[in-house]
Amino acid sequence: MLTELVSAQVRLLRTLLATIAELDRALGAELLGHAKAKLLQPLPRIGEVNLAQVVAEAGPILDRASDVEQASAECGTTPVTRASGKSRLVAFRWAANTTARQALTTFASNSRHSSPWAAKLYAGARRRGKHHPHAVRILARAWLRVIWACWHHNTAYDPAKHGAEKRLAA
């Protein structure tokens, strides 16, 4: 009885793994067919799954936002500033598309391991006393400006054309 139960579980696991592999191939095929995905594919360490997340979650925001600041606010990479009289408070933005924020911050965190510009920006935020999540959001906001330019100028990301990357390489 135990042998049959284990065999059934093994068959189920193999079927599940095969289904995951098939879905992974389908995701890759559909993603490469998306016009904007091709523009963002050269971003450093974005990966196929994270690229799909950025296109699916941040893409509609990029399409409808009137400028990069609006897109940044909707994606949750910009803090909220509250001012009244002489007091001013800058706080975490809770009202945002959390899946878009997660997609962008995951990419931003990964990018700092292979992009000197991203690493420098992240390290600068950490030196200023920002905790890791805050520093990653700062980096995600900077990357969102790059993504916005690629998205709206219909130009693929090229580190050789990225001004800040070029200055660091020189």
pLDDT in tens, 134-145: 999 999 999 999
Residue 128's pLDDT band (cuts 50, 70, 90): very high
Per-position DSSP letters for 96-113, written without gaps between them: S-HHHHHHHHHHHHHHTT
- The dihedrals phi and psi of 43, each to the nearest 5 degrees, come to -55, 145
Look at residues 81, 113, 101 and name the one whose alpha carbon lies nearest to residue 141: 101
Look at residues 84, 31, 32, 85 and name the one whose alpha carbon lies nearest to residue 53: 31
pLDDT in tens, 98-109: 999 999 999 999
